[in-house]
Amino acid sequence: MKKMLIWLFVFLVPSSIFVFSNSEIEKEITRLLAHQKISWNKGDLESFMSFYWKSDRFTFQSGGNRLEGWESLRRRYQESYSGENMGKLNFSDLDIKVLSNDIVLVLGRWEVQTKDSIKGGLFTLVIQRQPEGWRIIHDHTSSD
C-alpha cells in the first residue's frame, strides 16, 4: 500500500502542477491579442510579428493562397501594410476555444481603418504554448 501511494504521488502530482484553467489561458490569449493590436497601431510590425511562430513551418492562408514560413508573412505585411497603410487595427467577436493546456483556437473578426478605407474580415488562429510563450502557428484570414 505504501509503495502504491508513493507511485501515485510520483506520477500524479507532477502532472497536476502544470494544469492551467481555461479562464487563465483565455486571459493569456486575450493579452496576446491586445499586445498584437497595440504593436500594429504603433506601426511596430516587428513587435506584431513576435507573436507568430518564427519557423519555416508556420502557415498563413488567405484568399485562396497559402504562405509558409514566418519570413514570408513578414514580407507580405511589409508590402501590403507599410507606413500609413498600417492604419488602426481592431479585433472583435472573439471566440477563444481552449483545446488543451498548450493549444488554443481563436475565431474572430479583424478591421484595419486607414484614412482612405476600412478593410476587414474573419480570422482563425491556432495558437500553441511554446517555451518562449504563446505563438500563433497558423493564421487563416479572409476579407469581406
Question: How many residues are recorded in the chain?
Answer: 144
The four Cα atoms 9, 11, 12, 15 give a dihedral, to 10 degrees, of 130
Whole-number pLDDT of residue 19:
60
Over residues 110-120, mean pLDDT = 93
Domain spans of the chain? Answer: 20-141
Q: CATH for 20-141, among 3.40.1280.10, 3.20.20.150, 3.10.450.50, 3.30.70.270?
A: 3.10.450.50
pLDDT at 4 over 70: no
CB 140 within 8 A of CB 126: no
DSSP conformation letters of 116-138: S-EEEEEEEEEEEEETTEEEEEE
Residue 8's CB is within 10 A of a number of other CB atoms, namely: 10
Over residues 5-19, mean pLDDT = 46
CB 94 within 8 A of CB 33: yes
Q: Which band of pLDDT confidence, cut at 50, 70 and 90, is reported for residue 83?
A: confident
Whole-number pLDDT of residue 15:
43
Over residues 74-100, mean pLDDT = 92
